[in-house]
Amino acid sequence: MGSYSREDILRLVEEEDIQFIRMQFTDLFGQLKNVAITASQIGRALNGEIMLDGSSIQGSVRVEESDQYLRPDLNTFAILPWRPQYGKVARLICDIYNPDGTPFDGDPRNILKRTLKKAEELGYAFHVGSELEFFLFQTDEEGRPTAKTSDEAGYFDLGPLDHGESTRREVALALEKMGVEIEASHHESAAGQHEIDLKYTDALAAADNIMTFKLAVKTLAQKNGLYATFMPKPLRDAAGNGMHVNMSLFQDGRNLFYDETGERKLSPLARQFIAGLLEHARGFCALTNPVVNSYKRLVPGYEAPCYLAWSESNRSALIRIPDPRGRGTRVELRSPDTACNPYLAFAACLSAGLDGVTRELTPPPAAAGNLYAMTAEELAERNIRGLPASLDAALRAMETDGVVMEALGPYAIRYAAGKRREWEEYRTQISQWELDNYLASC
């Protein structure tokens, strides 16, 4: 992210021959939205005078209170590298405001900012780095997405087996141009599956970067004749798409999770944060894993977590502590998937961690061994519970988790209601599996 004044932006629009500016925001359910304005309107845009009809946005306001305003965050100014380079297109990520000048409670960016402010009051800066997985599939003759790939590569493989090399390269280059720092990119374990890791940054920029990342991947995949999907589990017998979230708390540039003298070189603060995450992991699951399909990924055997446990390095646990210590000390939460609204997911995770800190919770002992291989009895003996098995169960866990509901604020109820409708629609479908199993036998 840059650091721009109003004058910088007016000058850049002129000098760079920018003809359109996209005013972007994210709706409650994680969908990126934008309205394009012409360069002649930039003054009004910077004054926060561009309006939107909130009642037409999912999860937003009612018809009778529909006027809302977009106030751009100047530091998010970036030119879209994949649009024409004459008559360029820039974007500004915006906050949504009510006509009375107050921030809109249902704006996910505002929800995250509110939580970050609470952390700041306690003296903490919340840093996040994310590992984003996705599939690149082929399209059919009519250009519609399929779940097919001719790519035969696996983990860390390279061309010619890897058919997504060009797309990954273009995404990495485009994002770097936009000020998003990429740490690594590689082929993932399933055929057609890829991962790009974003360097850690403050949580607001991290969430903005994820929204930018998803747009870049979808757009550049299409340019390469492929279709990108972040669907959590598109194929039953292959790994799903995770979004591992690496979290740490900083103070005056110092990583507070690191303690040279602590057990495993982790500070008491890091332990309390882990305990908070474990305490609320069921409660925030409907946010980190927001769609019906999310729960088909959280099954044993594909490096996705299903149990509430933490571990030094075991990839079957919900929380892992990757090896680096010092500045790089972090807690890796492995449950989130790329379908989530990152603003809400980060707000919920931070609130959960901070709850552990303020209540000085102690985490259970780190889990040893492969959790996937444990029997129900072995898990019960160790007091290890599971993550919710469906969106329905996750919503029930969320509605009874005061910390998560408070993190979302007044719009928690609207989020849950929207997701409940999605669940009900799914619940009443008759699937091929049911027909195959019951038509003849019943």
Given 107, 151, 195, 392, the residue binding Mg ion (CB under 5 A): 195
CA 168 remoteness from chain centre: 19
Of 215 and 304, which has the nearer Cβ to ligand GLU? 304
282 is catalytic: no
133 is catalytic: yes
CA distance 328 to 257: 9
Q: Taking CB within 5 to 8 Å according to partner kind, which of ligand GLU, Mg ion, none is near residue 297?
A: ligand GLU
Q: Taking CB within 5 to 8 Å according to partner kind, which of Mg ion, ligand GLU, none is near residue 303?
A: ligand GLU
Q: Could you tell me if 308 and 386 are in contact, meaning their C-beta atoms sit under 8 angstroms apart?
A: yes
332 is catalytic: yes
Which one, of 180, 150, 183, lies nearest residue 164 by Cα?
A: 150
State in angstroms the smallest separation of the CB of 285 from ligand GLU.
14
Q: Which of 27, 73, 107, 131 is catalytic?
A: 131
424 is catalytic: no
332 binds Mg ion (CB under 5 A): no
CA distance 296 to 95: 34
Q: Taking CB within 5 to 8 Å according to partner kind, which of Mg ion, ligand GLU, none is near residue 295?
A: none
Would you report the helix, strand and coil content of the chain in percent, each value rounded to 5? Answer: 40, 25, 40
* CA separation, residue 118 to residues 8, 208, 336, 429 (Å): 31, 20, 23, 42
7 is catalytic: no
Of 151 and 392, which has the nearer Cβ to Mg ion? 151
131 is catalytic: yes
181 is catalytic: no
Please, is 37 exposed, middle or buried when counting C-beta atoms within 10 Å of its C-beta (0-12, 13-18, 19+)? middle
Contacts 24+ apart (CB under 8 A), 46-49: 46/6, 46/9, 46/10, 46/72, 46/74, 48/72, 48/97
Of 36 and 184, which has the nearer Cβ to ligand GLU? 184
Q: Which of 297, 334, 337, 355 is catalytic?
A: 334
- For residue 218, list its beta bridge partners: none
Of 251 and 313, which has the nearer Cβ to ligand GLU? 313
CA distance 414 to 28: 9
Please, is 97 exposed, middle or buried when counting C-beta atoms within 10 Å of its C-beta (0-12, 13-18, 19+)? middle
The H or E element containing residue 68 is strand 67-72
State in angstroms the smallest separation of the CB of 229 from ligand GLU.
14
Of 206 and 398, which has the nearer Cβ to Mg ion? 206
Of 112 and 306, which has the nearer Cβ to Mg ion? 306
254 is catalytic: no
Tokens of 369: 């061994």
State in angstroms the smallest separation of the CB of 189 from ligand GLU.
7
Binding interface with ligand GLU (CB under 6 A): 133, 239-240, 242, 297, 302-304, 315, 334
Q: Taking CB within 5 to 8 Å according to partner kind, which of ligand GLU, Mg ion, none is near residue 239?
A: ligand GLU
Active site residues: 53, 131, 133, 188, 195, 244, 315, 332, 334
Contact residues for Mg ion, defined by CB under 5 A: 195
